[in-house]
């Protein structure tokens, strides 16, 4: 199972390791967290959970790619992992939504608010990732417009006979 999480504020690797261990039911020592540009040779590739992070530009600071080995019994939905991380880290966490628009994300605040978010990367290299809109106000994203997402409503609307 893989999880792709984005955090608004910087989060220490130890906080991520504890949060992942807690929601996946493994020991903290069984979670390997490393920077993508760091020493990959010293990683524990046999760990139950492998987490690689890298920095982002824009109003999101870090991207967390989490791989959970098949033998790990607890593998909750991505939104549940995002919620656990948001609470543990005290920051808003985004994860991709199931809908087709690539900009469709879920945002979870530290107090548990779950809302839709629109993430738009720029064409720059590396891209600037900006959350431009949310469906409910998110205090950590004051520049995001609060609006309904018509593209998601259209996707869920049944085809006319």
Which of 60-89 are b and which e, b meaning 16 or more Cβ less than 10 Å from the residue's Cβ?
bbbbbebebeeeeeebbebbebbbbbbbbb
Mean pLDDT of 18-33: 96
d(CA 147, CA 50): 36
DSSP 8-state symbol, 158: P
Mean pLDDT of 38-51: 95
pLDDT in tens, 110-151: 999 999 999 998 888 878 989 999 999 999 999 999 998 876
Residue bearing the bigger pLDDT, 77 or 160? 77
Residue 81 and residue 20 in contact, taking contact as beta carbons nearer than 8 Å: yes
pLDDT in tens, 54-106: 999 999 999 999 999 999 999 999 999 999 999 999 999 999 988 766 678 99
Determine the distance from the C-alpha atom of residue 132 to the mean position of all C-alpha atoms in its chain, rounded to a whole number: 16
């Amino acid at each position: 199972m893989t999880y792709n999480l984005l955090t608004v504020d910087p989060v220490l690797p130890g906080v991520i390791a504890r949060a992942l261990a807690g929601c996946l039911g493994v020991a903290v020592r069984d979670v390997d967290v490393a920077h993508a540009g760091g020493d990959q040779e010293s990683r524990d590739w046999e760990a139950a959970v492998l987490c690689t992070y890298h920095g982002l530009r824009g109003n999101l600071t870090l991207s967390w790619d989490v791989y959970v080995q098949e033998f790990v019994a607890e593998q909750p939905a991505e939104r549940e992992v995002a919620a656990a991380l948001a609470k543990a880290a005290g920051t808003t966490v985004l994860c991709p939504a199931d809908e087709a628009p690539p900009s469709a994300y879920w945002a979870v605040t530290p107090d548990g608010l779950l809302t839709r978010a629109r993430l738009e990367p720029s064409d720059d290299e590396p891209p600037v990732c900006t959350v431009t809109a949310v469906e409910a106000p998110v205090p950590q994203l004051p520049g995001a417009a609060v609006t309904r997402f018509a593209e998601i409503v259209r996707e869920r609307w049944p085809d006319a006979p």
